[in-house]
Chains A and B, each alone.
Chain A
Amino acid sequence: MIICSTCQHQEVVGALFCSECGAQLHNMGSLATHNIETNEIDHNDFNAPPSMRKAKLDTGSATLQILDGGQIIPLANRSEFTMGRISDEQTIMPDIDLTPYRAYEYGVSRLHAALKRKEDKLTIMDLNSSNGTYLDGFRLKPEHETPLSHGCIISLGKLRIQFLLQN
């Protein structure tokens, strides 16, 4: 028998963890210090002037973050997506449904805007939405493609979404 030094529970020889309190029984020097990788975060990314941080896209590395709720929507590796909200009366479905993020209240149209991947850039285009699409506060001309950059804020009506690149 071996005895757990934390809770004094008896364990069978060969046990590595106490079945009672879960403490590690065997000291095998495995408590190595783990370094947290910090060099992967590129600090320059945010500080560079907007023109310098034009979106360069690796496959599937872009995400949208809903600013109010904090939820993250990964952008799948496709060349075009539409954003909007699903409604019962119509059969057109946006690729990214924003209904769960209170899209209706915020004034998102059913088909609001489209994201397009072109070579290594991602662009956004307003699809004649009722309440408009804004990029960093400026209203976009409908059916006109505008490039996105890391960290920029897209507003669909009043729903604010931040565009993020993972690396």
Chain B
Amino acid sequence: MPDYYALLGIFRDATRDEIKRAYFEAAQRLHPDKNKAFGETEIFLDVQQAYDILSNSEKRAKYDRTLAPEENIPSPLVQRVFYSRQSLVRLNETQLIYALLEWKPRQNKDEVVSPPLNICLVLDNSTSMKGQNIEMLKASAIHLIRSLRRRDILSVVVFSDRAKVLIPAALGLDRRKMENQIRMMLPSGGTEIFQGLQAGVAEVRRNFSPERVNHVVLLTDGQTYGDEKEALALAEESACVGIGISGLGIGEDWNDDFLDELTSKAGSSSSYIESPQEIQDFLEKKFKQLAKVFAENVELKIQPSPNIDLSYVFRVYPNAVHIPVENTILLGMILRDKPLTLLLEFRVKSTAVIKDEVSLLRGSLEFEIPSKALPNQPMRVHIFREVTEKASLEPPSPTLVQALANLNLYRMQETAQKEASDGNYNEASRRLQHLATHLLSHGERSMAKTVLLEAENLQQQQDFSEEGRKKIKYGTRALLLPAGKGISQ
């Protein structure tokens, strides 16, 4: 008999509501009217059967007795945790502890199949793209078209005040025609990101399949006006159906906070490049990354605890970004060759350390694996520490210290930006000077120079230069990547 819990992607102790919700989700996806893949109708019938049994408490109890214990079923993911301290100390004040969480596929990276891609490039075609930007973009897009694999789908949407589908999402299109379409792009008009995004998401949806990597890559060089809210709502909606969004900003005039918020709602992050020459590099790396996806739509669901404050979440890899703390944290994708790495900061209140053991985080990790049609059972995540009377002398994990040292630099610029926007220019400037010192000691001379220039700008003009601000933000963020610089491979 199949494991009905795994089939519905729920735990053994799922409540009736959870069972019902999981059933509706699975049934919707697998309904014979919609599914096309071979064998899905059989799975749909199994799902019906699963609900029939699990929704009836008598049948469920009887069925439960036939199952092997849950611990014996290996999850397709493996988890690893590093802590900044071996134990918490019984103290009368708040204390901090850091944890670095890693998840990677259980299989060897060579055994993991690369899912085919279903990607839409959403390209800014506004007047400001004229010149080098658009030419580099055309060349890079053509380069990508030439590198597509047989089963990959690439659609292209261009947008200014309105959007136009340049290459529709379909298999087996004539590549020469696709290239010609790209060559004929002619920039004009303003920048309305929502228009482009909407058309892009629609293209991806046309061929949406859980067995593909469904993703929108947005490239822009400008500010969007007045449609931020709609765009954010659309990103959220896309994430719900399983479409990721990555963003690239070119030059200095685009809104990085907006693009970060937009992409992090859809499990990814934004990147920044100074000059159009880097477009091709970004796109190549992005596509390489998407071709290496093992699991998608990874979500960490957290049960909040009153005595523990999860105060900072940063995804180190892939797509480094500061993630807002919510009960459901969208983590995006897990690649087949490098673990998804998350850095967490907990503020532990004195009321928590009365017990001998403290649960820092209790929750579950939900994910989808494109190469498998069936839903997966989520993974339980429980990280905890002992409470001792004296501080442990064991040094923290070097991996964690390294990550924290770099995160520390990123957070310093975050704080400086906040201080500057609150009008505390002297504080911000002083903080940047500290940051520059640390950067120099890390051997990051050119970034240190940029930081010092901005410290001066803050003193004299009471503002950052837009270019410098972005350089510092994305530069310190790139320090966190394992390879050092640039977007993750």
**Chain A interface (Cβ < 8 Å from any Cβ of B):** 1, 12-17, 19-22, 24, 26, 28-30, 71, 73-74, 76, 86, 91, 93, 95, 97, 99-100
Q: Which of B195-236 contact A (CB under 8 A)?
A: none
Bound CA span A21–B433, Å = 9
Chain A: minimal CB distance from B400 (Å):
8
Q: Which of B135, B404, B434 contacts A16 (CB 8 A)?
A: B404
CB distance from B437 to the nearest CB of A (A): 8
Give min CB distance, B299 to chain A, whole Å.
28
A22 touches B408 (CB 8 A): yes
- Closest A residue to B409 using CB positions: A22
B401 contacts A28, C-beta separation under 8 Å: yes
The 3 closest A-B pairs by CB, nearest first: A14-B96, A28-B395, A13-B95
Please name all residues of chain A whose beta carbon is closer than 8 Å to the beta carbon of B435 when the two chains form the complex. Answer: 22
**Across the interface, do A17 and B395 meet the contact criterion of CB distance under 8 Å?**
no
Determine which of B98, B132, B396, B398 lies in contact with A99 in the assembled complex, contact meaning CB atoms within 8 Å. Answer: B132
Q: Do A86 and B93 touch across chains, with their CB atoms under 8 A apart? A: no
A20 proximity list for chain B (CB < 8 A):
431, 434
Determine whether the beta carbon of B96 is less than 8 Å from that of A93.
no
Q: A97, B139: Cβ atoms under 8 Å? A: yes
Q: Which residues of the other chain, A, contact B411 by a CB distance below 8 angstroms?
A: 19
Q: Which of A16, A76, A99 has the most CB of B within 10 A?
A: A16
Partner of A22, one of B97, B136, B183, B412: B412
**Does A29 contact B412, Cβ atoms closer than 8 Å?**
no
Q: In the complex, A93→B431 CA distance in Å?
A: 48
- A144 to chain B minimum Cβ distance, whole angstroms, is 27
- Please report the number of residue pairs spanning A and B whose Cβ atoms sit closer than 8 angstroms: 75
Q: For B84, what are the chain A residues with a Cβ–Cβ distance below 8 Å?
A: 14, 16
Complex alpha-carbon distance, A76 and B147, angstroms: 11
Please tell me if the beta carbons of A30 and B398 are within 8 angstroms of each other in the complex: yes
Main secondary structure of the interface of B (DSSP, over half): helix
Q: Are B91 and A100 in contact (CB under 8 A)?
A: no
B405 interface residue, CB < 8 Å from A? yes
Q: Which B residues are closer than 8 A to A by beta carbons?
A: 84-85, 89, 91, 93-98, 132, 135-136, 138-139, 142-143, 180, 183, 275-277, 281, 284, 347-348, 395-396, 398, 401-402, 404-405, 408-409, 411-412, 415, 431, 434-435, 437-438
The residue in A15, A19, A95 that gathers the most chain B C-beta atoms within 10 A of its C-beta is: A15
Complex: A74 Cα to B132 Cα, angstroms: 18
Q: Per a CB cutoff under 8 Å, which of A13, A15, A71 touches B277?
A: A71
Per a CB cutoff under 8 Å, which of A1, A91, A99 touches B135? A99
Which residue in A15, A95, A100 is a CB contact (below 8 Å) of B96? A15
Residues of B contacting A93 in the complex (Cβ-Cβ under 8 angstroms)? 138-139, 142, 183
Q: How far is the CA of A19 from the CA of B415 in the complex (A)?
A: 9
A14-B95 in contact given A21-B434, A22-B409, A29-B395 (Cβ < 8 Å): yes
User: For the complex, would chain A's binding face be called helix, strand, loop or mixed by DSSP majority?
Assistant: loop
A35 to chain B, nearest CB (A): 14
Could you list 19 examples of A-B contacts with CB < 8 Å? Answer: A1-B93, A13-B94, A13-B95, A14-B84, A16-B98, A16-B404, A16-B408, A22-B434, A22-B438, A24-B405, A28-B395, A73-B277, A74-B281, A91-B183, A93-B138, A93-B139, A97-B136, A97-B139, A100-B132
Pair B408/A17 contact, Cβ less than 8 Å: yes
Chain A residue numbers with a CB within 8 Å of B398 are 30
How many Å from the CB of A100 to the closest CB on chain B? 6
A12 touches B401 (CB 8 A): no
Distance of A21 Cα from B409 Cα, bound (Å):
10
Give the nearest-CB partner of B98 in chain A: A16
Shortest beta-carbon distance from B283 to chain A in Å = 12
Contact in complex: A100, B276 (CB < 8 Å): yes
Cα-based distance from A97 to B275 in the complex (angstroms): 14
A1 neighbours in B (Cβ, 8 Å): 93
Q: Which residues of A contact B401 (CB under 8 A)?
A: 16, 28, 30
B395 (CB) vs chain A CBs: closest residue: A28
CB of A28 within 8 A of CB of B396, answer: yes
Nearest Cβ on chain B to A15's Cβ, whole angstroms: 5
Instruction: Note all chain A residues with C-beta closer than 8 A to B402.
Output: 30
**Set of chain A residues within 8 Å of B409, measured between Cβ atoms:** 22
Q: How far is the CB of B351 from chain A (nearest CB, A)?
A: 15
Residue of B nearest to A27 (CB): B395
Contacts of A91 in B (CB 8 A): 180, 183
Which residues of chain A come closer than 8 Å to B277, judged between CB atoms? 71, 73, 100
**What A residues does B85 contact at CB under 8 A?**
14
- A97 and B135: CB pair below 8 A? yes
CB distance from B229 to the nearest CB of A (A): 33
- Inside 8 A of A24's CB, which chain B residues have their CB? 405
Distance (whole angstroms) from the CB of B478 to the closest CB of chain A: 18
Q: Which residues of A contact B284 (CB under 8 A)?
A: 76
Chain B residues lying within 8 Å of A13, measured Cβ to Cβ, are 89, 91, 93-96
Residues in chain A near residue B143, CB distance under 8 A: 76
